[in-house]
Amino acid sequence: MSVTEFTGVTGDGDRGITSKGGLYEFWTDEGARICLHDTGFRRLTYEPGRPPMLELEFLYDPEWTPPGLSKTPVVVFRFEDVRVVEWHEDQEGHDCVRACPDAPPGQVGQFDWDGTDLFTLDTFTVRLLFHARRAAVTVRAK
């Protein structure tokens, strides 16, 4: 059974990414605390190259951006050697976003890792299940 290799994340078992603690709160290897529950899902990029790559981008709400990340409020997960299992677009979610300017298109309902190499992302408009051998976490400016 393959286990995803993470880079850019602390190796401290209490502060890193674990299947039990999930992907919502962890520290980078440079000591920045990431709280994905204070972000919105902003972008998904998939490149079916060799190896296949998937990039997920989350943006902090200005009101909730930690002081240490004020200049780099974008959290990026870059997954490599990806195999997409399910990609489902929720038409009702897309219709709601078009009809209601206050609808949260980037609201994340779930972003989990099973402890091996399987990830699940559920947003207001997209459900994505995928396997990935490697994941790099970085922060950057808008």
Q: What is the pLDDT of residues 71-113, one digit of tens each?
A: 999 999 999 999 999 999 887 776 776 788 776 667 788 899 9
Inter-residue contact 55 to 44 (CB < 8 Å) = yes
Predicted TM-score (pTM) of the model is 0.89
Phi, psi torsion values for 113, nearest 5 degrees: -130, 135
Mean pLDDT over 37-64 rounds to 92
> What residue segments make up the domains of the chain, in order of their start?
5-140
Query: How many Cα neighbours within 13 Å face the side chain of 103?
Result: 14
Helices (H), 74-113: 91-99
pLDDT band at 123 (very low <50, low <70, confident <90, very high): confident
What digits encode the pLDDT tens for the residues 8-47? 999 888 888 877 767 888 999 988 899 888 888 899 999 9
* Pairing of β 126-140 and β 5-7: parallel
Backbone angles phi, psi at 95, to 5 degrees: -60, -40
Residue 21 to residues 12, 58, 59, Cα–Cα distance (Å) = 12, 18, 21
